[in-house]
Amino acid sequence: MAYTTNTQPALRSLVHELPAYAAGRRATDATIAALASNESHYDPLPSVLDVVDTAARRMNRYPDSAALALRTGIAAALGVVPEEVVVGPGSLGVLQQIIAAVCDPGDEIVFAWRSFEAYPVLASLAAARSVMVPLAADESHDLEAMAAAVTERTKVILVCTPNNPTGATVKHGRMSEFLDSVPAHVLVVIDEAYVEFVAEKEALDALALFRAHPNVCVLRTFSKAHGLAGLRVGFAVAHTELADGLRRVGLPFAVTALAQEAALASLQATRELHERVALVVAERDRVADALRRAGWAVIAGQANFVWLRADDTLRELIVDHLERNDILVRGYRGDGVRISLADGPTNDHVIAALGDRSSFEAAR
Per CB under 6 A, residues contacting ligand PLP are: 38, 90-92, 116, 160, 164, 191, 193, 221, 223-224, 229, 234
Residue 63 or 90 with smaller CB distance to ligand PLP: 90
Residue 129 or 224 with smaller CB distance to ligand PLP: 224
Residue 140 or 357 with smaller CB distance to ligand PLP: 140
Q: Are 213 and 88 in contact (CB under 8 A)?
A: no
* H helices present in the chain, as ranges: 13-17, 46-56, 68-78, 90-102, 118-125, 143-148, 172-181, 206-212, 240-249, 257-268, 270-293, 312-324, 344-354, 357-362
Distance in Å, CB of 206 to ligand PLP, minimum:
13
Residue 276 or 357 with smaller CB distance to ligand PLP: 276
Q: Are 266 and 228 in contact (CB under 8 A)?
A: yes
**For 313, phi and psi rounded to 5 degrees?**
-65, -50
Distance in Å, CB of 89 to ligand PLP, minimum:
7
Distance in Å, CB of 276 to ligand PLP, minimum:
17
Residue 122 or 147 with smaller CB distance to ligand PLP: 122
Residue 55 or 231 with smaller CB distance to ligand PLP: 231
Task: Give per-residue burial for 208-242: e unless 16+ CB within 10 Å, then b.
Answer: ebbeebebbbbbbbbbbbbbbbebbbbbbbbbeeb
Distance in Å, CB of 108 to ligand PLP, minimum:
20
Residue 63 or 93 with smaller CB distance to ligand PLP: 93
Distance in Å, CB of 303 to ligand PLP, minimum:
8
Assign 60 to helix, strand or coil.
coil
Report which residue's Cβ sits closest to ligand PLP: 90
Q: At what angle do helices 344-354 and 312-324 cross, to 10 degrees?
A: 130
Q: What residue type is assigned to position 163 of the chain? A: N
Distance in Å, CB of 160 to ligand PLP, minimum:
5
What's the CA gap between 233 and 224, in Å, rounded? Answer: 11
Burial class (CB in 10 A: 0-12, 13-18, 19+), 90: buried
What's the CA gap between 254 and 232, in Å, rounded? Answer: 9
Distance in Å, CB of 223 to ligand PLP, minimum:
3
